Amino acid sequence: MIIVLKNGTSQEDINKIAGWLSRYNVEVSPIVGAQMTVLGLVGDTSSVDTSSAYLSDHVDKIIKIQEPYKRANRKMHPEDTIVTVGGVPVGGKKIVVMAGPCSVEGEEQIIDIAKHIKQSGATIIRGGAWKPRSSPYSFQGLKAEGLDLLNIAKAETGLPIVTEITNPGHVEKFIGKVDCFQVGARNMQNFELLIELGKARIPVLLKRGFSNTLEEFLMSAEYILSGGNENVILCERGIRTNETFTRNTLDISAIPALKKLSHLPVIIDPSHASGKSWMVESLSMAAIAAGADGLMIEVHNDPPNALSDGAQSLTYEMFNSTMKKIGAIAEVVDREL
Amino acid sequence: MIIVLKNGTSQEDINKIAGWLSRYNVEVSPIVGAQMTVLGLVGDTSSVDTSSAYLSDHVDKIIKIQEPYKRANRKMHPEDTIVTVGGVPVGGKKIVVMAGPCSVEGEEQIIDIAKHIKQSGATIIRGGAWKPRSSPYSFQGLKAEGLDLLNIAKAETGLPIVTEITNPGHVEKFIGKVDCFQVGARNMQNFELLIELGKARIPVLLKRGFSNTLEEFLMSAEYILSGGNENVILCERGIRTNETFTRNTLDISAIPALKKLSHLPVIIDPSHASGKSWMVESLSMAAIAAGADGLMIEVHNDPPNALSDGAQSLTYEMFNSTMKKIGAIAEVVDREL
Amino acid sequence: MIIVLKNGTSQEDINKIAGWLSRYNVEVSPIVGAQMTVLGLVGDTSSVDTSSAYLSDHVDKIIKIQEPYKRANRKMHPEDTIVTVGGVPVGGKKIVVMAGPCSVEGEEQIIDIAKHIKQSGATIIRGGAWKPRSSPYSFQGLKAEGLDLLNIAKAETGLPIVTEITNPGHVEKFIGKVDCFQVGARNMQNFELLIELGKARIPVLLKRGFSNTLEEFLMSAEYILSGGNENVILCERGIRTNETFTRNTLDISAIPALKKLSHLPVIIDPSHASGKSWMVESLSMAAIAAGADGLMIEVHNDPPNALSDGAQSLTYEMFNSTMKKIGAIAEVVDREL
Amino acid sequence: MIIVLKNGTSQEDINKIAGWLSRYNVEVSPIVGAQMTVLGLVGDTSSVDTSSAYLSDHVDKIIKIQEPYKRANRKMHPEDTIVTVGGVPVGGKKIVVMAGPCSVEGEEQIIDIAKHIKQSGATIIRGGAWKPRSSPYSFQGLKAEGLDLLNIAKAETGLPIVTEITNPGHVEKFIGKVDCFQVGARNMQNFELLIELGKARIPVLLKRGFSNTLEEFLMSAEYILSGGNENVILCERGIRTNETFTRNTLDISAIPALKKLSHLPVIIDPSHASGKSWMVESLSMAAIAAGADGLMIEVHNDPPNALSDGAQSLTYEMFNSTMKKIGAIAEVVDREL
């Protein structure tokens, strides 16, 4: 970290600041130039609270050189991390597609969907049991029953399960019944939940909040990693912008950016990003072309009558066609489906 | 709700849609015009899932006439709601100022701050015990000990307590120790937490998420109200925009807007909105001039050495001066401090 | 257009509104239902000013059914439009790549760049002569001289020219020296400029404003089209969002969206969208995979010493590699480079 | 400016960078610390193009210490600037209110409005002659005739005129007919227009673009100031955010921020910021409470039948009531109306 002092800061104030900084166990080396003085901080500056008024009184600017995330940082871990979800490696050469309904609605439904997506090449099933909804009057999911139905579908097809957890108190309940926890966009900064998941040893698919920066996203991954759980998958699902034609705006640049900044696998959710089923195929192709490790796609047996998010769910036919296109793109980028 | 059908929608499809809508217990009256057909939905349409693909296939546009929130809606409750926090009415003629440090740091500190803010006219003390921080390496608050220290300060000064809760599992732990729960911006859509707070009978100060709309804000209030807890205070604390000079952008328009849409009290947090202590006074005056019912202001005994958010904390002198200015503005808008 | 009246609007008021609407030459058919009354407007409602206070007094909601743009609307023009730039068709099966420096800096430079990009497969040369810069102290371009240098490069290579125009008074000066006008993002709503370009008969590459919606984008295209110039190419170049890691955020969804809403060709500028040369290749591949008709890419003979935007310019080697990858993606989507 | 070099940058590369920087006539003093090397740039760094790829290859971070604007910077000009518009000082103790219709519609209308707003205390009349509209099919203003009508109203009332200019070619046409040019939000970065206005000697009211930062805003003011025209008035009129209840979001913090960063007068346009006439009064009071030097308010003789922006225009009665409230707030902040 570099701290540029205001002109005319006295040696006494410099010492004061250095003293104040000592609490963070960083080495402070004043660098005195002809026209300005800067303090170079060496060591782990990730915990230095730059919002301190003391600093703001004597400091012109602060530059963070070290990213605030460590375990998520590619600099600390150059090779790609591969997270294994119920036997399926995520982050390797093989593109992973997680598919299924927004909400688990019944046994017949989830089994039927699982069989069809497997036929088309999906290797993980997704389905919501606990559904966070912006209205208390909307369908909230089948909860525990939904979890059981997902396991019946898994028994039928062998597909591992990824499903959303919304409450730190539910972790125990989920263990043994899920192959990967999903943290939704609205909970990306639900730190109490992240801390509990950091104690678990099951992979976590972490969705980016709809208005969070990539740095905040990686800091949330850091919460899980620093707790001891190294199995984190990053998922970009669209951010909120001035454009309202789409439900959100898919940040395609997040793929090369996250790949450069971090070693964690990156997957894309084109269904929530667009909110429009007719857009999912082209966005999926774009994501793989840009280097994504996989996709999370909503597929429903009967979109018109889905209990949630019908408008963004693919039919079996649409999904099958999308998978073929993705496979062709994968080859171009030296990946395989 | 009005559903405008696409041209050439067959009577059969109209019937199908009407049938589909029947699940929501709404009365569907087709309105057939010379050039277009629209479906008028009468009844409680708040649970109609407009994202259904079925609709999206046959429908040109959907207009919600009824706001999705009911209990928070001024139409259902014309007169202002007054929420009483430990004996202090919020939402009446008297402007309420909640002040205190970002984090409770120690007994001496919190007592000293409590005494000073009381002298200046604050009537509620705020202080963080559980601190959600974007970095796992930052100070996370004194937790349970912080709660006890707040109660010591309350015993000394008689000021009721508002403090943040971040985990639905903590509600029991807080009851008896807080006069008002605070839900932070990052937890505005932590529905599991909102549902638990809806079961409590203690007031809840709900902060707006930094990228949430007013409608989403009121829907989150609706979660608490629909659970049976009618004591909700709305708090605007700045939204994330393209402007980075300030930490966030205070949405001053939210005051008249929320006052028109809802009957709940509205307070403003100029400290988090700006992130700059030198801006707090002018933003506080603006907020009262615009019709806010109160303010939440960060005050610290020694901002330079605050463990968090020092740069946005007022000294005792700054706070005292701000209170005087607020009082003068209050008179102009026929309120009192 | 559908106008939903407030409950209890008197017949007299309905007649008043109908009378008020008559100025727009639209047919107003009141549709009276059991519980609500709506006015259906038939005809060209694109000029109805929905911001009228009269309406806002008696109206609950207004729904536009007809998009406000007509000539740019695919509904009015189902087949794709192909715009020919100096003999090069844009919008057909062949992917078009426009490449060159941010600014034309000298004769040797622009000729050298033109030859190299042509070798790699680019078919149009781009280069800035008039440079809109946010600082009055930054290099503003070679202006008229830059235009002449572009023409020398054209003479050497046969590549048609696209360059930015920033002043409605410059149109005459540009005619005969450019094959395609470029309207920069900051001028997307410079209507005086759009009106002048509508009178010209040379193609216009219209860049999307960095905070404009797709509807506003198409309305700006409508200005040019309604002036009689049907040769408009749409260019998405990134929008401003909360994410600051990239210069802007490429809105990849704009490709399928614009293709559905309009018949005009769509190209992508990954250089300005990301601001980072190392991201250009993956974003270019994503754009073609998503269905873009072409790309505009910054290439410089010596990026380190570029007078502007060096950090986002590709070297000849990087550009050549990118072109190979684009070609491979093009095949998958049944296009060719 | 501080340039932090990447670890292991060779002396040769340091020399190369220093040489490259020499083109900008800045003194480069390398500051070599134990663990890192930074380059301190002294002199006018406002023209240094930090986007250079050369820098980006060897540099970890760049910190601008000097703001890129000079003439607009309060550091260079500590005392407040007072701009005189047709004899009316803007920026002094007296709050200035500019009022009038969105568009000049006719002689009788504009005279009637001018008389009424003068009675209520407005001292400058605003009215649009050239109207930039997002649709080519909307009313575009009376143009030259509108300018003449404004002058008739001025003759009747003595109120100076502020009106929008949208074309650099119109400056001559406006001189002698306007007391203050208005640059609309969409033209804030129409640099060709700003350059022409910099050559004029008539005051310019510069509106902030709806997605521009305060730094970009002040850089646009710098274009006018550096051209030799020192009479610039800054106008905040709302920014585009995720909130859609209001037309834009009034950035109230921009008032204290601009007052700190610059010496130029700051006025607020609550009409465009909110788009809702019922919000104008409370936002106006907030603006004056926060330290604004004045307001620009839309007033119409018959809002229901306004040819544009009727929904945000005040009636005479509403305007008169608003003026009384503003006057009361002005006293509290030691200003007068």
| ipTM for the predicted complex | 0.93
**Looking at the predicted structure, is the pLDDT value of residue D35 above 70?**
no
> Residues 6 or more apart from C335 whose CB is under 8 A from it?
C93, C94, C95, C288
pLDDT at D112 over 90: yes
CB neighbours of residue C14 within 10 Å: 17
Task: Calculate mean pLDDT across residues B125-135.
Answer: 95
* C255·A329 Cβ contact <8 A: no
Task: Name the residue facing D214 among B243, B260, B282 (closest C-beta).
Answer: B243
pLDDT digits (tens, 9 = 90+) for C273-330: 999 999 999 999 999 999 999 999 999 998 877 777 778 999 999 999 999 999 999 9
Is the Cβ pair B139, A49 closer than 8 Å?
A: yes
Chain D interface disruption, residue of C23, C130, C186, C308, most D CBs within 10 A: C186
The yes-or-no verdict on residue C147 having pLDDT over 90 is yes
Q: Which domains does chain A have, with CATH numbers?
A: 2-63 (3.30.70.1140), 83-332 (3.20.20.70)
In chain B, the residue whose alpha carbon lies closest to the alpha carbon of C34 is B29
* Whether residue A254 has pLDDT greater than 70: yes
In 10 A of CB B260, how many CB atoms? 12
Which C-chain residues 190-249 have CB contacts (< 8 A) with chain B? 211, 240, 242, 244
Q: List chain D residues with CB under 8 Å of B246.
A: 253, 257
Average pLDDT over residues A179-188: 98
Q: Where does the pLDDT of residue C26 fall: very low under 50, low under 70, confident under 90, or very high at 90 and above?
A: confident
Terminus-to-terminus CA distance in chain B, angstroms?
43
Return the residue of D nearest to C167 by Cα: D192
- Shortest distance between the Cα of C8 and any Cα of chain B, in A, equals 15
Burial class (CB in 10 A: 0-12, 13-18, 19+), A171: middle
- Given the DSSP bridges, would you call strands D232-236 and D266-268 parallel, antiparallel or unpaired? parallel
Does residue D30 surpass a pLDDT of 90? no
Higher pLDDT, D95 or D2: D95
**Mean pLDDT within A64-81:** 90
Q: Tell the residue number behind the tokens 């529905």, with chain if given.
A: B191
Q: What's the CA gap between B124 and B114, in Å, rounded? A: 9
Chain D residues lying within 8 Å of C136, measured CB to CB? 191, 195, 219, 222-223, 226-227
Q: Is B181 helix (H, G, I), strand (E, B) or coil?
A: strand
List of chain C residues whose C-beta atoms are within 8 Å of the C-beta of residue A250? 252-253
Question: In chain C, what percentage of residues exceed pLDDT 70?
Answer: 97
Query: With an 8 Å Cβ cutoff, are A60 and D65 in contact?
Result: yes
* A55–B219 C-beta distance less than 8 A: no
Is residue A237 scored above 80 in pLDDT?
yes
- Min distance B108 CA to chain D CA atoms (Å): 34
User: How far is it, in rounded angstroms, from Cα A84 to Cα A90?
Assistant: 6
pLDDT of residue D53: 60
**CB contact B324 to C (< 8 Å):** no
User: Would you give the DSSP letter of residue B304?
Assistant: G
Give all chains having 3 or more CB-to-CB distances under 8 Å with chain B.
A, C, D
| Per-residue pLDDT tens over the stretch A209-236 | 999 999 999 999 999 999 999 999 999 9
**Average pLDDT of chain D to the nearest whole number:** 92
Gap from D241 CA to chain B (nearest CA, Å)? 6
Chain B residues within 8 A of A54 when measuring between CB atoms: 303-305, 310
Token representation of residue C195: 């009106």
Question: Which of D260, D274, D289 is facing B329, going by the closest CB pair?
Answer: D289
Chain A CB contacts of B189 under 8 Å are 132, 134, 186
Provide the pLDDT for residue A51. 67
Q: Are C183 and C214 a contacting pair, CB within 8 Å?
A: no
Min Cα separation A333/chain B (Å): 33
Q: Give the residue with greater pLDDT, C38 vs A133.
A: A133
Q: Give the tens place of pLDDT for each residue, B269-289.
A: 999 999 999 999 999 999 999
Q: Closest partner residue to D2 among A2, A42, A211, by Cβ?
A: A2
* Nearest chain A residue (CA) to C278: A256
Of B211, B278, B282, the CB nearest to D290: B282
Given a cut of 90, whether residue B2 has pLDDT beyond it is no
- Residue B306: its pLDDT value, please? 77
Q: Give the pLDDT confidence score for residue D54 in this predicted structure.
A: 63
Quick one: pLDDT at residue D57?
Answer: 72
Amino acid A181 reads F
* Percentage of the residues of chain D whose pLDDT score is greater than 70: 97
> With contacts defined as CB-CB under 8 Å, which chain A residues touch C325?
332
> Residue C272 in contact with residue C312, Cβ under 8 Å?
yes
Q: Name the minimum distance, in Å, from the CA of D160 to any CA of chain B.
A: 29
Per-residue pLDDT tens digits for D280-297: 999 999 999 999 999 999
CB within 8 Å: B135 and A311: no
pLDDT confidence tier of residue A321, bands split at 50, 70 and 90: very high
Q: Tell me, yes or no, if B313 comes closer than 8 A to chain A by beta carbon.
A: yes
Instruction: Give the residue ranges of DSSP H helices in chain A.
Output: 11-22, 53-58, 107-120, 144-157, 171-174, 191-199, 214-226, 254-261, 270-274, 277-289, 316-332
Phi, psi of D268 (to 5 degrees): -120, 140
CB contact under 8 A, B290 and D288: no
Residue A20 confidence (pLDDT): 78
pLDDT at D55: 66
DSSP category for residue B182: E
Give kind and range of the element (H or E) at residue B316.
Answer: helix B316-332
Lowest average pLDDT, out of A88-92, A306-310, D5-9, D68-72, goes to: A306-310
DSSP label of A68: S
Contact A267, A96 (CB under 8 A): yes
Calculate the average pLDDT of chain B: 92
For residue D224, how many other CB atoms are within 10 A of its CB? 28
In the predicted model, what is the mean pLDDT of residues B39-57? 72
pLDDT tens profile D215-263: 999 999 999 999 999 999 999 999 999 999 999 999 999 999 999 999 9
Q: Is the dihedral of CA A114, A115, A120, A121 positive or negative?
A: positive
Percent of chain A with pLDDT over 70: 97
In this prediction, residues B197-205 reach a mean pLDDT of 97
> pLDDT digit string (tens) for C30-85?
777 666 778 888 777 777 777 665 666 778 777 777 788 999 999 889 999 999 99
Reply yes or no on whether the pLDDT at B45 is more than 80.
no
Decide if D191 contacts D214 (C-beta within 8 A): no
Best to test chain C binding among A239, A268, A282, A322 (most C CBs inside 10 Å): A282
Structure letter (DSSP) for residue B264: S
User: Taking CA atoms, what residue in D is nearest to A241?
Assistant: D242
Q: pTM to 2 decimals?
A: 0.95
Which residue from C minimizes the CA distance to A273?
C253
Q: Does residue B13 sit at the A interface (CB-CB below 8 Å)? A: no
Contact C132 D275 (CB under 8 A): no
SS3 A136: coil
Query: Which residues of chain B have a CB within 8 Å of the CB of D242?
Result: 211-213, 239-240
CA–CA separation, A112 vs A97, rounded Å?
17
Q: Does A290 touch chain C (CB under 8 A)?
A: yes
Minimal CA separation from A32 to chain C, in Å: 29
| pLDDT on residue B53 | 58
Candidates C214, C250, C329; nearest CB to A253: C250
Query: Would you state the pLDDT for residue B35?
Result: 67
- Residue A305: phi, psi to the nearest 5? -110, 20
Separation in Å, CA of D332 to nearest CA in chain C: 33
Which residues numbered 70-129 in D keep a CB inside 8 Å of some CB on C? none
Contacts of A274 in chain C (CB under 8 A): 253
A156-165, B249-258, C296-305: least confident range = C296-305
Q: Cβ–Cβ of A285/C252 closer than 8 Å? A: no
Mean pLDDT over B47-57 rounds to 68
Test the B interface: residue of A25, A47, A51 with most B CBs within 10 Å: A51
pLDDT of residue D240: 97
Q: Does A256 touch chain C (CB under 8 A)?
A: yes
Asked whether the predicted pLDDT for residue A265 surpasses 70, the reply is yes
Q: What is the mean pLDDT of residues D155-166?
A: 98
**CB hemisphere CA count around A171 (13 angstroms):** 17
Q: What is the pLDDT of residue A136?
A: 92
Chain D partners within 8 Å of C222 (Cβ): 135-136
Mean pLDDT score of chain C, rounded to an integer? 92
Helix (H, G, I), strand (E, B), or coil: what is residue D2? strand
What would the mean pLDDT of D165-193 be, rounded to a whole number?
97
pLDDT at C119: 98
- Find how far residue D105's CA is from the centre of its chain: 25
Structure tokens at D162: 């502020």
Residues C214-234 have pLDDT tens digits of 999 999 999 999 999 999 999
Q: Using an 8 Å Cβ cutoff, are D122 and D320 in contact?
A: no
B238-242, C17-21, D77-81, D168-172: the lowest-pLDDT one:
C17-21
pLDDT of residue C53: 58
Cβ <8 Å between A40 and D38: yes
The conformation of residue A262, written as its DSSP 8-state character, comes to: B
Range in A11-15, B136-140, B238-242, D296-300 with the lowest mean pLDDT: A11-15
Structure tokens at C62: 């207004």
